[in-house]
Amino acid sequence: MNPALQIIPLLDFPLVAPGDDLAALVAAALHHNQLVLEADDVLVVAQKVVSKAEGRYLRLADVEPGQRAREIAEQADKDPRQVECILRESREVLRVRPGVIIVEHRLGYVMANAGIDRSNMEQPEGDPRVLLLPEDPDRSARLLRKALGAGPGREPMVVINDSVGRAWRMGTVGMAIGCAGLDPLYNQVGERDLFGNVLEVTESAVADELAAAASLVQGQSDEACPVVVVRGARLRPGSGGSQALLRKREMDLFR
């Protein structure tokens, strides 16, 4: 890891609509910000713009909630139609309380409301919509990386991040839900510390660490900065995706 890490926002990034070529928008933003991708650069992209480009919208008017959705909606004080969307995107409901439903997403992430929300998207009057996570965020990251590699500069590593809560901690942080071109975990087992002790369990979730750092610059409200370039991380290249970050259920002490 380079001791100097830069997180560079792509300013003036346009609003994204279904069917937009996200790679072309990123390339134009790089040019506008006078940036050329360098070796080992990591592009961190907010999930929301990926989902928007992929058209992952659902009109609540088109959703018919089932009995289970209605029962959970009463417990959670939520729109039954939105709860139905959450159930469709989930493997299992883990916890319910007023305002939140904790689920195991169909992609394996444990998160609130299956990552579905209405923030930072236009809502036609009388026709509310919700936005789902990308169908396959790792594939989205791979496609974006490949497309950007065809332009000027180097092919970047790509992380798609989303904001999530954590067990026992308040607030949200950025988490990697899609990766391409990098090893999302840095396993240091067998290395030695400052005093010569052999590391036995140390494994850093570097993709999550970058996702969280980038989210400080991306913001959560009206910052309009969904894409940043992280320079200086010097991550290990890899062909795996974000699934490597998921703890196996039999090792999960929180469930």
Tell me, yes or no, whether 140 and 112 share the same domain.
no
Q: Is residue 251 in a domain?
A: no
Residue 25, C-beta contacts closer than 8 angstroms, at least 6 positions apart = 13, 14, 16
Question: Over the stretch 234-247, which tens digit does the pLDDT of each residue have?
Answer: 898 998 899 999 98
pLDDT > 70: percent of the chain: 98
**Per-residue pLDDT tens digits of the chain, which is 255 residues long:** 566 899 999 999 999 999 999 999 999 999 999 999 998 899 999 999 999 999 999 999 999 999 999 999 999 999 999 999 999 999 999 999 999 999 999 999 999 999 998 877 777 888 899 999 999 999 999 999 999 988 777 899 999 999 999 888 999 999 999 999 999 998 877 788 888 888 877 788 999 999 999 999 998 767 789 999 999 998 989 988 999 999 888 888 877
Number of domains comprising the chain: 2
Question: Over the stretch 118-149, which tens digit does the pLDDT of each residue have?
Answer: 877 777 888 899 999 999 999 999 999 999 98
Tell me, yes or no, whether 67 and 190 share the same domain.
no
Return the SS3 of 38.
coil
Tell me, yes or no, whether 43 and 106 share the same domain.
no
Structural domain of residue 120, as residue ranges? 57-131
Tell me, yes or no, whether 185 and 235 share the same domain.
yes
Residue at a domain's end among 83, 115, 131: 131
| Backbone phi, psi, residue 251, to 5° | -105, 5
Return the SS3 of 131.
strand
Tell me, yes or no, whether 97 and 65 share the same domain.
yes
Residue 90's CATH number: 3.90.1660.10
Q: Is residue 255 in a domain?
A: no
